[in-house]
Amino acid sequence: MKVKFTNLYKLIPNKSKIIKKVNYLIKNSNFIGGKEVINFENNFKKFVKAKYCVSLANGTDALEIAISSLNLKKNSEVIVPVNTWISTAEAIVSNGLIPIFCDVNLSDYSICVNDLKKKITSKTKAIIIVHLYGIPSNISEVKKLSVKNNIKIIEDCAQAHGTKFLNKHVGTFGNVGTFSFFPGKNLGGFGDGGAIVTNSSQIYKYALRARNHGAINKYDHKFSGRNSRLDTINAAVLNIKLKNYKKVIKIRNKIANVYFKKLKNLGDIELFDLSKKNTHSFHQFVIRTKYRNTLARNLKKNGIQTMVHYPYMLNELKFFGKHKIYKAKDLGEKILSLPISEEHSLKEINYVINKIKLFYKNKS
Ligand SMILES: Cc1ncc(COP(=O)(O)O)c(C=O)c1O
């Protein structure tokens, strides 16, 4: 049996509806802005229960615009977890600010609050929390620290559409939340896409201009911005996919529960340790083992694709400077992402589990 990590074609729901819609947009030459984009922003802000949503060209731009909306003094420090996609730190650097890497918990791979307390200095002006793998970070603790120290919070929700901390959507706790709609994401479009959500009218108005050369209406430039618009066809696809999205989270949770049940106490495998009070969207299902490389090779031989998110911690990229990290020190050598998506059948997931069991049986 072959088990792909993701099958993007299979992940497209309502294909005939999408084709009909795209045909309509092509016939009417609707490519930039318009009703589809406005509808998507309205639908997405309703979905996450935020006051405002501004759609953008990708999740990296969303981070860059979110950070610049806070108007932080140049060379201020911004704390960011060490286990995340490079964009989270890049957006800090491209804003003329300094990323300070923070350790992550080994239970859920989210920002370690104890280390965060140590990393806050008088130069810290913002914290970016990353709800990695669709698992919410401990926002209530981070929020307490941000209030105490007068620090802004950005939530990187690129992997966490529909993830909730207690009963509230991630992205709505801090000053601003950012999303990516990259095709492989849980809610992925036909190409790059992104958005910010916020309850601040000031940030909303800034982002509306920042994505469109500093202008809302033609030639009404108020500052030097950029081109970061979500394409109309992409917005139309995302509108259709969003309608189906609650079902996606349900199936991903069902698969995650099978992994939890059947991989528990197997060999040296460490699983997520998650609070039942939260809603997880399981963008990835990550296990940890010191046999990561041999296990991945073995699964590959059996037709199973796995991935690593990520093979290095960001402090290992020397151009980001020197940072002290303890818990996550060699995480990049141990973590392995197993196949999980709404299109994987239980037969495929059980095949993956059986091959992992066999791997450990042959070890003992
Ligand atoms: C945690 C995280 N932040 C930011 C991004 C950047 O999003 P994009 O690829 O849409 O620019 C990604 C995408 O992989 C991500 O996973």
Tell which one of 87, 129, 157, 310 to mutate to probe ligand 1, the residue whose CB is within 8 A of the most ligand atoms: 87
Question: Quick check: CB of 60 below 6 Å from ligand 1?
Answer: yes
The gap from C-alpha 128 to its chain's centroid, in whole angstroms, comes to 12
Q: Whose CA is nearest to atom 12 of ligand 1?
A: 158
Q: Does ligand 1 come within 6 angstroms of the Cβ of 186?
A: no
Q: Which residue among 55, 67, 82, 85 has the greatest number of ligand 1 atoms within 8 angstroms of its CB, and so is best to mutate?
A: 85
User: Across the strands, what pairs with 155?
Assistant: 129, 177
Question: Whose CA is closest to 151, among 83, 100, 220, 213?
Answer: 100
One-letter amino acid at 86 equals: I
195 DSSP β-pair partners: 55, 179
Residue boundaries of the structural domains of the chain:
15-243, 245-363
CA dihedral 199, 200, 201, 206 (to 10 degrees): -120
Kindly tell me the burial class for residue 197, based on how many C-beta atoms sit within 10 Å of its own C-beta (0-12, 13-18, 19 or more): buried
Q: Is the CB of residue 234 below 6 angstroms from any atom belonging to ligand 1?
A: no
Cβ(233)–Cβ(31) under 8 Å?
yes
Tell me the sheet residues that pair with 198. 52
- 130 within ligand 1 shell (Cβ under 6 A): yes
User: For position 320, what pLDDT does the model report?
Assistant: 95
- Please list the ranges in the chain whose pLDDT falls under 50: none
- pLDDT attached to residue 337: 98
Q: How far is the CA of 171 from the centre of ligand 1 (A)?
A: 14
C-beta 192 within 6 A of ligand 1: yes
194 lines ligand 1 (CB under 6 A): yes
Average pLDDT over the chain reads 97
Distance of CA 228 from the midpoint of ligand 1 (Å): 15
Asked if residue 131 lies in contact with residue 88, where contact means CB atoms within 8 angstroms, the answer is no
What is the topology classification, in CATH, of domain 15-243?
Answer: Aspartate Aminotransferase; domain 2 (3.40.640)
Nearest residue (CA) to ligand 1, atom 10: 59
**Which own/partner pairs from 261-270 qualify as long-range (CB within 8 Å, at least 24 positions apart)?**
262/350, 262/353, 262/357, 263/287, 263/353, 263/356, 266/356, 266/357, 266/360, 267/291, 267/359, 267/360, 267/363, 269/356, 269/360, 270/106
Query: Topology of domain 245-363, per CATH?
Result: Aspartate Aminotransferase, domain 1 (3.90.1150)
pTM assigned to the model: 0.98
For residue 333, the model assigns a pLDDT of 97
Check residue 324 and give its pLDDT: 85
Report pLDDT for 363: 86
The residue to mutate among 182, 192, 231, 309, having the most atoms of ligand 1 within 8 angstroms of its beta carbon, is 182
